[in-house]
Structures are given as C-alpha cells and as structure tokens.
Structure 1
Amino acid sequence: MRNTPVRDIAQADFSVISPDWSCFPQNVHAFTTMRKAGASAFPYDDGYARGGFNLGAHVGDDLDVVRRNQDALNQYLPSNIIFLSQKHGTVVCDAALAVNGCEADACFTNQGAIACAILTADCLPVLFSDTRGTVVAAAHAGWRGLASGILQNTVKEMREAGAEEIVAWLGPAIGPAQFEVGQDVYDAFSKILEHTGNYFVNQLVGGRASGKYLADIYGLAKSVLSSVGVNSVHGGEHCTVSAPENFYSYRRDGVTGRMASVIWMD
C-alpha cells in the first residue's frame, strides 16, 4: 500500500534519530524511532508515565494502541511497513514480496517507494544502501544472527540485486559497557572472526576470570562487515540500556516496547 505524498519526518509528533551519513545518496531516507510521544501505556510508555511509541505487536501491548502507533509512523513512509517475524536467524527477504509476519531478520529492495524496516530493543539494527541509491536494506543483528551470518547474507542479496559499493549505519543497540555475555558468545565469534579478543573484555571476580565478558556488538558488526567488503560504516554511538529516556531496552526492563529502523529510496 502506497502512502502519497510522503510527509516530512521532521514534522512528526514522535521522535527519531537520523543517520549522519553524508556519503549516502540524496534519494535515500532513513531513521530509527525512539520511545517518545506515542499512545502506549506502562511498561511500553516513554519512561515518564506518558504515551510511548511502541511498534511491536508481539510484546504484550494493547494491539489497538500498537496499531495507532504503527499508523502514525506509516504516514511518514512511502509504503506501509511490513513487520517481519524476526527469529535471530539469517533469512533475508525481498521487501517488495514480503507480507506481515513472514519469517526473516532482514529485508532489501531495489525498488523505489518501498520501506525496509526491522524492530529492535537492544539488538543491533543495521541500515544499508549502495552509494548509487539503487538498493537499500535493513537487518536485525542480535548476537546470534550476527554470529550466524545475517549481515553477510544481507550484503549478498543486495549485490545480487545490483548494489555495487555498499555503506552501512549502525543504529541504537546495547553498548559495550552494558552487554554482558557468557563464554558461549565469545566462542561463537571466535569461530568466524580473527582477533575476537579485541571485542570482548573479560570480567574478573577476585582477580580471576568469571566466564563473563563485556561484548562490543558495534565492533563485532564492523569486523563482520569488513570481511565482506563493507568498510564505510557509520553510527554506533547510542546505547539503548544507558538511555531509558530515549530507548526501549529488553536487557534493562524485560517487558518493554520495540523501536523501528527504516530505510527507503525515492
């Protein structure tokens, strides 16, 4: 369903973060929503007992309220968002062919006026475009998907759809000072990346290794992207856990809302 004309996101009642990526072509538009200025009540509110902009219909929020938030967002997009059923996997779908609830953790398009979007609340959202503005994509990169190949698969699908030089933006996610993980996460990345230790800080208890680490999901994503030739990577400065006034965080709150990261071409 096309929404025409597209309204200026700067005039929206809800809040967004737009990528600072001057290298992106002018026909590409992207942002990540924040938790402010929606219709959702606690625990999906804005953190101050006012309406929150929860976009996830699978988290226990009132579905009528979620639809109000989704409708508000769609007014600023060229097409209604297709909400994927994200499984922390490696499936990438064509946004032009996808339907609501299709199982995938990334989507791409080489068509104009089609929005690619994913939902997060600590997992890493990655938005992509080629420098010519002919292919865009959005990927949900929790640690499982990141270790299994979701970003590599997204880049592969973009290239098969005609993308040449690709640039990426890392949206708000759990930051390296907050992302405590176990040995299983370290081991998963040690199988696919060199210098894995560069992205993990060993947590010591009584001067001894505890089997827990602080992981840098932004650094891990940059290393994965570099391995497939994507070296122009922006963003990575926001921590969802540390900024409750701006972001939903599953790690921090447990029951919480979801934010959308969206990209499209004119």
Structure 2
Amino acid sequence: MSLEILTSASLSPVKHGFFTRKGGASSGVFSGLNCGMGSSDQKEMVTINRERVAAAMDVDTLARVHQVHSADVVVVDGPQGDAEEADAMVTNVPGVALSILTADCQPVLFADREASVIGAAHAGWRGALDGVLTNTVEAMLGLGAKRKNIQAVIGPTISQRAYEVGPEFLDEFLSNDGENNRFFIRGEGDRYLFDLPAFGLHCLRLAGVELAEWTHHCTYSDPDRFFSYRRATHKKEADYGRLISVIRL
C-alpha cells in the first residue's frame, strides 16, 4: 500500500506532508505507518516506516527532537547527533527535513518561502498554552524570516467534539487569559469540550501569522487514517501509533 500524504496549497511549493497511518509496515494496534521510536512497536518496523517517509521526502534522514510538551525550539543547521529535548525545530538549510510526531496533538508546519526558512512544531494543549507556536515564529525570524511572510498549517489533530476535559483544565486556561473560555463548550455534567485547533490558530495569529489554517482532519474520529492517543485510551489498548509530519526546503 502506498503512503497517503496530506498537503496544503498554503505551504506549496515547499515540500511537506502530513502522513496518515496508511502504507506502513507495522501491525496490531500500530497497523500502518507508525513512526514513533518511543512506542512499544518493533523497532525494525518503525525504522522501515521512517525510511519510507524519508524516501517520500527525498532525503536520507529526518531531523527530530525528543518531544516533551515544552515550548522549546531547536535550530537545525546540519546533521544531528542525539535528539534534543524540545517540541519544535526551524531551519534555513536546504535538504534538512524537519519531522514531528503526534497522536492527537497538533502538528504545525511553517514556511516563509521568500526567505527559505521553515519550521515544524508539536503543539499539544500544554505546549500551545506555554508558547511553543510563538517561539517557533520567533526562531524563524532569527533565521531571516519575516513575520508577514510566514504561513502555517495545522495538520490532523483531535477536534472539539472528541476532546472532553474537566473543570480544572478549563481553570488553567482561564487563569492564563479569561477570554480563553471561547475555546470551550459545555459537555455532560461538569465536563467541557475543548477546541484545540481553534486555540492553535489563535496562538498563531497572536504571533503575527496572518495566513494560518487547519486541514480539518480529526485524529480521534477517523481510525482508518489516523492514530489517536485518546481513542486508544478509551479502547483500553496497550499502546498507540504516532503520526509523522515533515517539511523540507
């Protein structure tokens, strides 16, 4: 089965892709293109999957970070050693492919085509609230990008209808900014439904990104195409696969 790669005209002609789970070598709960080295999947299968992604992006290796739900950004200016702890990367080096793993969190790809500067961020609720998207934009500016020329696309992520949270979650967002209540609607009992991609778009616009969009793919609601941490938890599965999103100059 061939790989399925979602793209956005907003980032073209910069080579990029939000990869679905289709076309991979993994099996079981990881069936498909699981690219998570930190999962309990067979390492040789994950390696095969990552090699298929690299080939699709016309590169030998994929730059990566050890994602920890932080707001930290790494500048990639050449071959990597061990992956650093961070949740975003930027580069202006041709041929460097930035890769981000997600399984409900937001994968966000950035490009300033005029300056030839790109970025990739893993933005769950914690990282987004703490500023990972703003920090990615600032790191791109440090490489010569211009704020008005940066475009950003949020790939497959969990949608509001599937993201139930408790009152303490809402309180954390309201303590940051009282107007964040716009990203929540009432659920059953004391529960709320949180709109992660809408919050991500809000963060991007606060960072000065004028063209920002979401692909409108929900990871939770489409098990044939996407891995989902929350869906796996609800099904009481032992583990879950990780989706990969990549951009390169």
- Give distance in 2, aligned partners of 1:188 and 1:161: 33
TM-score normalised by the chain length of structure 1 = 0.85
> Which residue among 1, 12, 17 is the counterpart of 1:31?
17
Inter-partner Cα distance in structure 2 for 1:75 and 1:61: 21
**Which 5+ residue runs of structure 1 have no aligned equivalent?**
1-11, 46-51
Instruction: List aligned pairs for 1:98-177, cutoff 5 A.
Output: 98-164=80-146, 165-177=149-161
- Identical-pair percentage: 34
Partner of 1:72: 52
CA RMSD between the two structures:
1.6
Alignment of 1:22-101 (within 5 A): 24=11, 26=13, 28-45=14-31, 52-77=32-57, 78-97=59-78, 98-101=80-83
Task: Classify the secondary structure of the residue corresponding to 2:216.
Answer: coil
Contact residue 82 and residue 99 of structure 1 kept, 8 A: no
Q: Measure how far apart 1:185 and its partner are.
A: 2.6
Per the alignment, do residues 53 and 120 of structure 1 end up closer, same or farther by CA in structure 2, a change over 3 Å counting? same
Which whole-Å CA distance do the structure 1 matches of 2:215 and 2:193 have between them?
Answer: 16
Q: More helix per residue: 1 or 2?
A: 2
Deviations 1:109-162 (A, max 9, x none): 011111111000100011001141511000000101011111111011001111
Aligned pair in 2 of structure 1 residues 132, 25: CA closer, same or farther (>3 Å)?
A: farther
Q: Secondary structure at the match of 2:169?
A: helix
Q: How far apart are the structure 1 equivalents of 2:82 and 2:212?
A: 29
Equivalent residue of 2:85, what SS?
A: coil
Aligned to 1:203: 187
Q: Residue 168 of structure 2 aligns to a residue in which SS? A: helix
Alignment of 1:170-189 (within 5 A): 170-189=154-173
Secondary structure of the residue aligned to 2:161 is: coil
* Structure 1 CA distance for aligned equivalents of residues 145 and 115 of structure 2: 9
- Rounded to whole Å, the distance in 1 between the matches of 2:169 and 2:89 is 25
Render the CA deviation track for 1:205-263: whole Å, top value 9, x for unaligned. Answer: 2xxxx1x2101011101111111111211224010000001000010013111111111
- Cα distance 1:184–1:253, how it changes in 2: closer, same or farther (>3 A)? same
Q: Which residue of 1 aligns with 2:236?
A: none
Aligned length: 240
| Cα pair distance change 1:231/1:102, threshold 3 Å | same
| Contact 1:147/1:188, CA 8 A, preserved across alignment | no
Kindly indicate whether the alpha-carbon contact (under 8 Å) linking 1:20 and 1:234 is maintained by their aligned counterparts in 2.
no
SS in 2 for 1:118: strand
Q: Residues of 1 paired with 2:178 and 2:93: CA distance? A: 36
Secondary structure at the counterpart of residue 187 of structure 1: helix
Amino acid at match of 2:4: S
Q: Which runs of 5+ in 2 are unaligned?
A: 234-238
1:227-238 matches, within 5 Å, as: 227-238=206-217
Higher strand content, 1 or 2: 1
1:79 positional shift: 4.3
SS in 1 for 2:203: helix
Query: Amino acid of the residue matched to residue 149 of structure 1?
Result: G
- From the superposition, tell whether residues 16 and 250 of structure 1 become closer, same or farther in structure 2 (CA, over 3 Å): same
